[in-house]
Each structure stands twice: as structure tokens, then as C-alpha cells.
Amino acid sequence: MSYQLVLSELLTKIDIETYVSDWFTVDQSRVNAFAEATLDKQWIHVDPERAHRESPFGGPVAHGYLTLSLMPYLAGSVTAERPRFPGSRLSVNYGLNRVRFPHPLVVGGRIRVRSRLVSVEEIKDNVLQIINLYTMEIEGAVKPACVAETVARIYF
């Protein structure tokens, strides 16, 4: 698909929910691996016994940044076999405009991402900047685990 076709298609999807992921379970081993990678080993994440005893959340919770870091995967943005933008050479994270963590994700909880396209802008020839609003829902919870406005650049 050409750059112009992708741009034309994206422009028709502004302010529309464009994607809903499958449910994904965040288990203690994933939380522990994230704690090791980031050196954030706060007990509320990695000590299930203490978290069940002392946490106001009833058990250990995932790191907010872990939930945020799962967004590209859940949104289907990191699958080489199925590129999100056909014909693109690469897609890069350009940043975040706003991130909030309204509700803790208790370990063992299931999450999914909903994506809404906020804007599309031509940065230069064959480069698009897109802004998406991602809402990471927690199965059974009223509030989401994370809401983030992401900025990506797509190179064709």
C-alpha cells in the first residue's frame, strides 16, 4: 500500500476507535521480570505475601510502566509478520503527550487495549506522525489501568 493510500485511509479514521485487542493476563512472573529489568523491586509488586497482607489493593500490583510498555504489543504495533501500516519501512515511538494510571492492575488481572486515532500529520515526504489515545481496560473494573496519548512516526 502506498504512502498516499495509507494517509487517505487514516484521515477517514480520526476520532474513531480503530482497534480492540484480545485480553491478556499479567502474571507474577512478568511483573518480576519487569522488576528485574527496571530495578523497581518495590514490595507492592514483587512480594505477594506482604502485598496480600498490607496492600490496599488485596495483592501485588503490576508496575504502571509495565502496563504502559505492553501497549504497543497489545495494539498490534510490534508484529513483523503483520505490519500495522502496509508499505511502511518502519514505525518509531516519538513520545507521549499524556499518561495516567487511574486504577491499579492486580497481578493475575486481564487487560486489553482500545485505540482511538486522534490525529494524522504529514511531517515531511513519506513520513507521517500519528497520535493515538490508548485505553487499557481491566476486565471487571470500572476504571482503566492506563490511559495514554502516544505519538508515533511512520516512515514510508
Strands 90-100 and 24-25: unpaired
Host domain of residue 38: 3-155
Q: What is the 3-state secondary structure (H, E, C) of the chain?
A: CCHHHHHHHHHCCCCCEEEECCCEECCHHHHHHHHHHHCCCCHHHHCHHHHHHHCCCCCCECCHHHHHHCHHHHCCCCCCCCCCCCCCCEEEEEEEEEEECCCCCECCCEEEEEEEEEEEEEEECCEEEEEEEEEEEECCCCCCCEEEEEEEEEEC
**Predicted pLDDT of residue 69:** 96
CATH of the domain at 133: 3.10.129.10
| Residue that the C-alpha cell 519501512 belongs to | 89
When divided into structural domains, the chain yields a total of 1
What does pLDDT average to in each consecutive run of 10 residues of the chain (156 residues)? 85 94 97 98 98 97 98 81 77 95 98 97 94 98 98 94
**Predicted pLDDT of residue 79:** 66
d(CA 94, CA 84): 16
**Predicted pLDDT of residue 76:** 82
**Predicted pLDDT of residue 91:** 87
**Predicted pLDDT of residue 88:** 85
